[in-house]
Structures are given as structure tokens and as C-alpha cells.
Structure 1
Amino acid sequence: MRSAYGVETVRAAERALMARLPEGALMQRAAAGLAAACADLLGRVYGSRVVLLVGSGDNGGDALYAGARLARRGAGVTAVLLAPERAHAGGLAALRRAGGVVGPAGFAEEALGRADLVVDGIVGIGGRGGLRPDAARLVETVERSRAAVVAVDLPSGVEADTGEVRGAAVRADLTVTFGTYKPGLLVDPAREYAGVVRLVDIGLELPAEGELEALQHADVARLLPVPAAESDKYRRGVVGIAAGSARYPGAAVLAVAGALRGGAGAVRYVGPAADAVIARFPETLVSDRGPAKAGRVQAWVTGPGAGDDAATVAEVLAAEVPVLLDADGLRLAERDAVRARTAPTLMTPHAGEAAALLGVPREEVEGARLAAVRELAAVYRATVLLKGSTTLVADAAGGAVRVNPTGTGWLATAGSGDVLSGLGGSLLASGLPARDAGGVAAYLHGLAGRFAADGAPAGAHDVADRIPAAWRDVRR
């Protein structure tokens, strides 16, 4: 499990560690890791030209001490000070002793024009509300440079706790973060500014659970349902799919495709697309009697391609089994009906649907994804999987939000979400809690998307076909 911790948690851990270490030792640990990462990126340190962008905090001190290490190895290091009177005194002295050059922001453009590497130490993890005008202008100059950019702890201009970006921000090729990941490094829009993230262990002791967590192969493998010797199709779980319409029969077919590959022993389909479903998947159990009379299921999926069939969505929500609510179902469901449920509910909106549910502009959800998924989970008393470039899963009970590390831009294709809903519903039927079902479904779906695309466009049916390959890859 890869965990990310908020600013206050990190600072408390740093204070506790500094109390046990000689003065300055923690900063030297961070600077050593930063310098090593810069050297790896440069390849050849001797003769390279490095520019440090130095703010007034410890973040700038880390950059200065790392610059001093690079200067001692033969790099030409120039420090640009945004606030000379508040720059880290010890770091400045170390850089000057090593032969580094120090100057004000006024000569940044000339220095950046010759740089091989830029080290961003403008603002640390406590930055809020966007960059000041002088820093924003400096960021614009960096963007015109051809140098590689390394961010210290996180790119300046992004918010560590939320992943929000308010105005100009540094776009790094590499972010060297200390002690632990910060939520903003794993969640868009900030994540796209971070580049490759390298974690440097500086000895922090942190709580068992962070504010954010990302599953990895081993975590998913432990959660995947595996049939026992005595299992039959009913013991493995039956998932019901109430989806599709005369206008959108393909949504039902794709949801069933995901469900058949999600670990449940059988799939029941209810809806007007039965002929299309049976033609593609003859193993599906179909019914025309409605969800309540379709037969026993351990979980329901409703909403994909449902059109205006509010009655079916309401009937499914009345069932006393876990329900995955997607697509049209999110629009048709009554909030009070979702809130009143005692069995688990997993909602799977994309940003536009989440915005409609919250009554805010889509841009607000996309700019503050963590806040949006938490608010939706609290308002609906449900587990919410917010789809997007970084898919998030939040539980109504609180706790760490899960961020999905797999996926590809090629998954932004019609029907992809229908496959995900079927897959998630099948995992619910096999017995996984809603939070785990959402996290595992997103992980497998993202991995299957990578396999299906392999650098080229892929359709939703291609993604469904590669779920078994993703499953096997995780198990290995």
C-alpha cells in the first residue's frame, strides 16, 4: 500500500524526529537524497549548470544544501533568491563555500537560459492559495527554459493536502518528496505537475493510516475472490444487472461483459436488452419480470443506459443487497432513497455527474477532486467512486480515500464506465465491501485498459476482454 499524509501529520512527525536528532540533521538527510536524485537525472554532474529557485522556507534550505553537494562535485550552481533577507542562512553559507553563485530574482532569466537543471525550492508543503506574483513570473520563465526541472517535496503552486492548483505552478520532470507521499502528488490536477515522484526516506514515524492510499498489486491480490474446492456458481455470488434500454442496449451488453469477468459465479440480466445480451453472452441468466422477481442475487448494478427508467432504479435501490449505482441511475435515484439504504451502496459518477449531484460547476469538481468525493460520500451516506484521470474512492464513514494508480487516457471512451460498473458489481456480489470492490474494480479496469490500448486506441469491449489478463497479472 502506498500511503500519503497531510501537512499537519508530516510536520508533527518531523518535529518528533528533529527532537531526537542533532540540529540540522534532518535537512541534511533531505538534501542528500535530493542531490542524489538530481545527479541521477543529470547523468554527468561535473560541468553541468544547475539553477536553484530558492524561497524563504526550509524547502529553499533543502535546495541550497543539495546545490552545495552538486557544486562540490563540479557542477556550476547558481541560486536565485526570491526573498534574499529570509533565505536559509546555513544553506546559503554552504553553497558559497562550495563555490556556488548567489543572486536576486532579477538575473533569473539569463541563468535559466543556460541551465541544464532547475531545482524548484520556491514554496514548500505549506503553500496555500497560489503563488505570489514574483514567483508566478519566475515559473513562466522556467517554462520557457529547456532545462529539466526537479521539484523539492512537491511542485511550487500545488496544494499538498488537496491536489488543487490555483494559478501558475511549476511543472516538474521529477519531484523528490521526503518521508512520505503527499496527497497532492497522487491526485489530479496537481499530479500532472509532479512528473515522476521519487520518495526519499528520512526516518519519519507516521500513523498506520494516511489521508490517502493507493493499492498496489499485492494489496489487490489479497482482495481478489478465489473459489474454493466446494464452491458452486451460487456460492461464488450472483450479480444482477438492471441496465440498458431500447435506445442504449450496448450499455447492458458492456455491463454484463464486465460482470462476467469480475469473480461472481453467475450474472442475471433484467431489462429490455435481453436479446442483445444473450446474443453476445449466452451464459447470462435473463428475466423479464423486473428486479424484485428476477431471482436471488448478492448484489445489483443499475443505471448504465437506463434512459428514463426511474421505476427500475427505485426497485433496485429497495433491495436489501449491495447496489452499484451508475450513469443514468445517478440522475434517476432519489437522494433520500440512497441515504435510507441499510445495505452498502457504491456510486460511480464521473466529474460531470458528480457536479450535477452536488449542484456545482463541473470545473469545481475537477479542480478539487478530493473535496468532491468526500462531500458526495457524506451527503449520500454511500461509498463513492469518482471516475477520472485519477479515480478516487471515498467511504461515508471517512478514513483514507483510495486513489487508483492504474489506467490510461485511452480509457476515456464510450462504454468504458459500463464495463467498470459490471466489474464492480460482480466484486460486490462475491463478498467484497463497497470500498474494496470499488478500489479493486478501478485497479483491474485501469490495468485492463493499459493492456487493451498498448499505446493505441481501444474500445470498451477490448477493455472487458483484457480483464482476465489484468487479473492474472495481479495474481502473479
Structure 2
Amino acid sequence: MRAAYGVETVRTAERELMARLPEGALMQRAAAGLAAVCAGLLGRVYGSRVVLLVGSGDNGGDALYAGARLARRGAGVAAVLLDAGRAHRGGLAALRAAGGSVAGDATAALARADLVVDGITGIGGRGGLRDAAVPLARAARESGAVVVAVDLPSGTEADSGEVRGECVRADVTVTFGTYKPGLLVDPAREYAGAVRLIELGLDLGAVEADVEALQHADVAALLPAPGAGSDKYRRGVVGVVAGSKRYPGAAVLAVAGALRGGAGAVRYVGHGADAVIARFPEALVHAGPPSEAGRVQAWVIGPGLGEDAGGALGDVLASDVPVLVDADGLRPLEPEMVRGRDAPTLLTPHAGEAAALLGVSREEVEAGRLVAVRELAALYGATVLLKGSTTLVAPAGGTGAGFAARPVRVNPTGTPWLATAGSGDVLSGLAGALLAAGLGAMDAGSAAAYLHGLAGRLAAGGAPVGAMDVADALPGAWRGVVGRGRTAPGTPSGTV
């Protein structure tokens, strides 16, 4: 599990560690790690040209001390001081003692640089770069040099991942102690490049993370595996209410996701029965309503339903099993329809649908994805999977400190080629299958997003891909996760 912690949590842990260390030792640890990454990126340090963009905070100090280490190895290191009177004195002295200098002409220095270190602002920065720093950030990008951000790209916001103005676009970000949410969540993640973590020895074991990202082993521990006594009913029956006369393909894709996602059986209800049976003869079809289709362990409702969504939605939400609501099922949804349910509810909107549910603009959701997914989960009392460039899964809950402290999961897999019609329908069916298998809504949504992203990569291979290609690649993604994530045959699949 990769965990990310907010600014105040990190600062508290740093203060506790610094109280046990000699003065300046923690900054030296950070600088040593930063210098090592920079040296690796340069390949040959001797004779290389390094420019440090130095602000007034500790990140500027980290950059100066790292620059001193590179200068001692023969690099030509020049510091651009955004506020000379507030630059870290010890770091500046170390740089000069090692043979580094303060740049007289920042633009000329950046034009010649092989590597630029961004130490303009720290993790407490808000609201984008200040005016004086904007031309430096642009010149660094235009120089062709490798840009390395210290802790996070200056101008991005550590806690939320928001970008509210101009910011540095890094090739590599060297972060210290732990990941910060903004390094994992778009739009800030887009500016971070490859992220390298330098361990400092922070004690965060007893603190709840703000954001977490599952890895192969975590997902493998969640995925259900049939045993000798399994049958189709024990493996989980998914009810799918999707498709219409106008959009029968949505039904086919949702059923595909459910079947490829391990469902023992799929009960389909809707106007796409002929298309579903033609593609998947193993599906069980029913004219409806859903409550009369037979017993299921979970429902998926919404993809391609069009105007038929309203009545079927109420029928499904009245059931006593987990329900996933997607696409057209979200249009008539009101908070009171979900809040009174005893069984879990998983909502899977994209940014436009989330904006409609919250009564804000799509741009506002995309700019503040972490805030939006938390607000939706609080408003509806449901687990929310917000699809997009960074897929986020927020736990169901209400308002208050207890809810806010629970981590949001960010999905680390995927490819831009997944931005194709019907891809979300496959994801809904897959997540529904995991719900029917007994996973909780948070785990089902997180594991489904992870597998869906891997399947997208496998299917695309760097080329355009269709939604059914993604569904067909799900078994391969599943095998890859289980093969790498489980230590031995028969290892328990974990708890839910």
C-alpha cells in the first residue's frame, strides 16, 4: 500500500524526529537523497551544469545543500535566489564553500543548464507561483534541461492536488519522508513526473493516511478465488439493469465486465436482451422489473438506460443487496434515495456527472477532484468512485472529523486510451461482480478500478482500444495481479 499524508501530519512527524536528531541532520538527509537522484539523472556529474531555483523555505535549503554536494563532485552549480535576504544561510554558505555560485543572469544560466532543481516553494505553498517565479519556471521548461522538483512541483498544492495558477512542470519529483496527496492526484500529479521517495525515518505508523494507493499485493489479497465447493451462486450472481433500444451496446459491455470479473452468473434486465444473449448465451435475461428477476447478490444499474432509469432505480435501491449506480442511473438520484439503505451503495460518476450531482461546474470538479469525491460521499452517504485521469474512491460516510480522517484511495493503473465509449460500462460490470462476490463497496471499487486500468494497458499496448477489448483483457490482468501478488498457491485471498 502506498500512503500519502497531509502537510500538517508531515510537519508534526518532522518536528518529532528533529527533536531526536542533531540540528540540521534531517535537512542533510534530504539533501543527500536529492543529490543522489540528481547525480543519477545526470549520469556524469563532473562538468555538468546545474541551476538551483531557490526560494525562502526549507525546500530552498534542501536544494542548496544538494547543490553543494554536486559542486564537490565537479558540477558547475549556480543558484538563482528569488529572495536573497531570506535564502537559507547555511545552505548558501555550503554551496559557496563547495565552489558553487549565485547566478548573475538567471535566464542565461537556465539556457545552459543540464539539470534544474526546483526549490522555489515547499509543501505549504498555496495558489500557484508568485509573479517573480513564473518566468523562471517557463525558462526551466524551455531550456530542455531535466527539471527536478524538491518535495513537489512549486505552484501545486500538496494536500489537494489542485493547481490554481502557474506552476513548475517537473520531469522528476524527489519527495521526502512520505508521499503527499498532490503527488498522486491530478491535476498536480501531471506536473510531478516520475516520483522518487527518500525515506527520512518519519514515524507515521499510528496516523491515518489522507490518500492511499493499492499495489498488486493489496489487490491480490482482495480478489475472490473459487474453492472446491463453489458453484455459480456461491461465486456471486450480479443483476445488471442496463441498455435500451437506443443503447443496447451498454448492456452488452456491462454484462461483459461482470462475466470477465468473476461473476458466477449474470441476470440481465432491460431492453437489450437480444444483444446480450447473442454475445453471451450464458446470461440469464428477464423482462423486468428487477425485483422479479430472481435472487442476486448485487445490482448494477444505469449504463445506457436513457429515460428508463427512474422507475428501475427505485426498484433496485429498495433491495437489500449492494447496488452500483452509474451513468443514466445517476440522473434521477437524490441523496435520500441512498441514505436510508442498509446495504452498501457505490456511485461511479465521471466528472460531468459528479458536477451535476453536486450542483457545480465540471471544471470545478476536475480542478479539485479530491474535494469533490469527498463531498459526494458525504452528501449521499455512499461510497463514490470518481472516474477520470485520476480515479478516486472515497468511503461512504457523513460529515465530521471521523469521516474526513478516512483515506481516499487513488488508482495508480490505467492509460489515456481508456477514454473511449463504453469503457465505464465495463468497469461497472466488473465492480458489480466484486460486490456480488462479497467485497465491500470500497474494496470492490478500488480493485475494479485497478484491474480495469491494467486491462486497458494490456489491451491498448500503446494503440487505440475499444471497450470490449478492455473487457476481454480482464482475465489477463487478473492473472497478472494474482500471479505477482500472492506468495504461494492457496494463500488466502484476504478479508473484506
TM-score interval for Structure 1 and Structure 2 normalised by the shorter chain:
over 0.9
Residue in structure 1 matched with residue 211 of structure 2 by the alignment: 212
Residue in structure 2 matched with residue 229 of structure 1 by the alignment: 228
Tell me how far 1:214 sits from its aligned partner: 0.3
Counterpart mapping for 1:172-183 below 5 A? 172-183=170-181
Note if contact 2:141-2:147 (Cα within 8 Å) is conserved in structure 1: no
Tell me how far 1:263 sits from its aligned partner: 2.0
| One-letter amino acid of the structure 2 residue matched with residue 195 of structure 1 | G
The secondary structure found in structure 1 opposite 2:306 is coil
Tell me how far apart the structure 2 counterparts of residues 452 and 130 of structure 1 sit (CA, whole Å). 38
Residue in structure 2 matched with residue 167 of structure 1 by the alignment: 165
The secondary structure found in structure 2 opposite 1:301 is strand
1:302 and 2:309 matched? no
1:268 and 2:275 matched? no
Tell me how far 1:139 sits from its aligned partner: 1.3
Tell me how far apart the structure 2 counterparts of residues 109 and 77 of structure 1 sit (CA, whole Å). 15
The secondary structure found in structure 2 opposite 1:50 is strand
The secondary structure found in structure 1 opposite 2:118 is strand
Tell me how far apart the structure 2 counterparts of residues 289 and 403 of structure 1 sit (CA, whole Å). 36
Counterpart mapping for 1:70-469 below 5 A? 70-103=70-103, 107-208=105-206, 209-309=208-308, 310-397=310-397, 398=403, 399-469=406-476
Tell me how far apart the structure 1 counterparts of residues 92 and 69 of structure 2 sit (CA, whole Å). 12
Residue in structure 2 matched with residue 474 of structure 1 by the alignment: 481
The one-character-per-residue Cα deviations of 1:237-268 (angstroms, maximum 9, x if unpaired) are 11100111000000000000000011221110
The one-character-per-residue Cα deviations of 1:105-139 (angstroms, maximum 9, x if unpaired) are xx210100100000000000010122211012221
| One-letter amino acid of the structure 1 residue matched with residue 166 of structure 2 | A
Tell me how far apart the structure 2 counterparts of residues 203 and 363 of structure 1 sit (CA, whole Å). 39
Residue in structure 1 matched with residue 26 of structure 2 by the alignment: 26
1:3 and 2:3 matched? yes
The number of aligned residues is 474
Note if contact 1:6-1:183 (Cα within 8 Å) is conserved in structure 2: yes
Tell me how far apart the structure 2 counterparts of residues 462 and 103 of structure 1 sit (CA, whole Å). 54
The secondary structure found in structure 2 opposite 1:396 is coil
Tell me how far apart the structure 2 counterparts of residues 261 and 218 of structure 1 sit (CA, whole Å). 20
Tell me how far apart the structure 1 counterparts of residues 438 and 300 of structure 2 sit (CA, whole Å). 14
Tell me how far apart the structure 1 counterparts of residues 107 and 461 of structure 2 sit (CA, whole Å). 40
Residue in structure 1 matched with residue 490 of structure 2 by the alignment: none
Tell me how far 1:335 sits from its aligned partner: 2.7
The one-character-per-residue Cα deviations of 1:358-392 (angstroms, maximum 9, x if unpaired) are 11110000000000000000000000000001100
In structure 1, the gaps of 5 or more residues are none
Tell me how far 1:439 sits from its aligned partner: 0.1
Note if contact 1:175-1:197 (Cα within 8 Å) is conserved in structure 2: yes
Note if contact 1:308-1:332 (Cα within 8 Å) is conserved in structure 2: no
The one-character-per-residue Cα deviations of 1:139-166 (angstroms, maximum 9, x if unpaired) are 1222221111000000000000000001
Of residues 278-287 and 128-137 in structure 1, the stretch that sits farther from structure 2 once superposed is 128-137
| One-letter amino acid of the structure 1 residue matched with residue 360 of structure 2 | V
Tell me how far apart the structure 2 counterparts of residues 467 and 460 of structure 1 sit (CA, whole Å). 11
| One-letter amino acid of the structure 1 residue matched with residue 250 of structure 2 | A
Tell me how far apart the structure 2 counterparts of residues 119 and 73 of structure 1 sit (CA, whole Å). 16
Note if contact 1:394-1:401 (Cα within 8 Å) is conserved in structure 2: yes
In structure 2, the gaps of 5 or more residues are 398-402, 484-496
Structural RMSD (CA): 0.8
Note if contact 1:314-1:333 (Cα within 8 Å) is conserved in structure 2: no
Tell me how far 1:329 sits from its aligned partner: 0.3
Q: Normalization by structure 2: what TM-score?
A: 0.95
Note if contact 2:267-2:283 (Cα within 8 Å) is conserved in structure 1: yes
Note if contact 2:243-2:303 (Cα within 8 Å) is conserved in structure 1: yes
| One-letter amino acid of the structure 2 residue matched with residue 455 of structure 1 | G
Tell me how far apart the structure 2 counterparts of residues 19 and 335 of structure 1 sit (CA, whole Å). 48
Once superposed, which parts of structure 1, at least 4 consecutive aligned residues long, lie more than 3 Å away?
A: none
| One-letter amino acid of the structure 2 residue matched with residue 396 of structure 1 | A
